[in-house]
Amino acid sequence: MISRKTRFAALAGSVALLVSSCGREELPQNTLDPQGPVAEQLDNLIDPVFIAAGFVFVLVNALILIAAVKFRRKSDDEIPKQVHGHAALEIAWTAAPAVLLAVIGVFTLGVIFDIDERPAGANSMEVRVVGHQWWWEFAYDDQGFTTANELHIPIDTKVSLELQSVDVVHSFWPPKLAGKLDVVPGRTNHMVVEADTPGTYYGQCAEFCGLSHANMYLRVIAHEPADFDAWVRANRDEPRDAATLTGAAGRGASLFRAKGCASCHAVTGYAAGDFGPDLSHLQQREVFAGAMFELNDRNLRRWLRDPPAEKPGSLMPNLDLTEEEITDLIAYLNTLD
């Protein structure tokens, strides 16, 4: 038999652990740490509902405990008092939850309609988000370029996201900036994100979408307006003309076509594939392959050696490249700034 003290210590320990996991620091995907008005609206719903639910939880459990102790059978031949029907009680416990849920419902509906509103005019912009197995495409149609895995936005701007999918159902989820919304093939869903301060906000696909669902991360990078404009300009520039590249980069550019990279990836003016991420300005990014890897030569080499080994199910095949070919391809990719 475990002693009372030990049991109490175990309980206290678990509670402490549970409570400490609710800390708000250093948790990159903490819904309870909103960093923009949309996420704040959601948090303002979560908090009171949680308090109401907590109150109900404590009340119900206390009543169960009291009933179990106070009305327990005290001897083997005792039959407890038999009660059937109690109109006042039954009306009370039907009406109270109904009223509570109605109040929560009114506030919830208000927020749902509010955050679904399409922003317009100054301080708003639109980005098309396309879910792929297993990476995110961000199409800045108004600005005329497409990127992947990193959604760049200016701060204090309502960014309207048009969510689409080319294959299966995904779910776009940047917890500190907005809620979670399914990305469904054949339709366009709409959500708004907005950040108060510059910084990198983490997120990921939140709907099981196949083998590498867990490797389908995303980043939202919020800039001061001037920095955002500079980023847009960098992404609109024509990439260097592949024909002028020499040495390893020149050989890499040729391999990019010869090995079939160009049939899946776009590079403005050089390749027109649209199955994989657009690589025209790859070097503007921090990460690649569904934001699984930091973008650097070492990780690119690992990736190019055998993509499906790094990311299970990867639709980018193993091209059986030699180390020299990989070196040349990386040299070429490094020119795509």
Binding site residues, ligand CUA, CB under 6 A: 131, 134, 170, 205, 207-209, 213, 216
Token representation of residue 190? 């709409």
Residue whose tokens read 């109904």: 98
Cα–Cα distance between 332 and 46 in angstroms, integer?
49
- Other CB atoms closer than 10 Å to residue 132's CB: what's the count? 21
Q: CB 147 → ligand CUA: shortest distance, Å?
A: 18
Neighbours of 12 (CB within 10 A): 10
Least Å distance, CB 273 to ligand CUA, is 21
C-alpha 85 chain-centroid distance: 50
Minimum CB distance to ligand CUA, residue 167 (Å): 9
Longest alpha-carbon distance in the chain: 99
The tokens 């908090």 sit on which residue? 47
Complex with ligand CUA: residue 314 or 335, whichever CB lies closer: 314
Q: What is the DSSP string of 112-142?
A: HHHHHSPP-STTEEEEEEEEETTEEEEEETT
Residues 6+ apart with CB under 8 A from 304: 319, 321, 326, 329, 330
**Nearest-angstrom CA–CA distance, 283 and 147:** 11
Give the total residue count for the chain: 337
* Residue whose CB is less far from ligand CUA, 132 or 176: 132
Give first-to-last CA distance, the chain, whole Å: 68
Taking the complex as a whole, the smallest distance from the CB of residue 210 to ligand CUA amounts, in Å, to 7
Nearer residue to ligand CUA within complex by CB, 93 or 208 = 208
Residue 276 CB, shortest distance to ligand CUA, in Å, is 15
Q: Considering beta carbons, is residue 131 or 252 the nearer one to ligand CUA?
A: 131
Least separation in angstroms between CB 313 and ligand CUA: 11
**Toward ligand CUA, which CB reaches closer, 203 or 252?**
203
Nearer to ligand CUA, 37 or 203 (CB): 203
CB of 169 to ligand CUA, least distance (A): 8
Q: Which is nearer to ligand CUA, 45 or 214 (CB)?
A: 214
- Tell me whether the omega of the peptide bond preceding residue 134 falls within 30 degrees of 0, making it cis: yes
Sheet (strand 150-154) strand order: 150-154, 217-223, 199-204
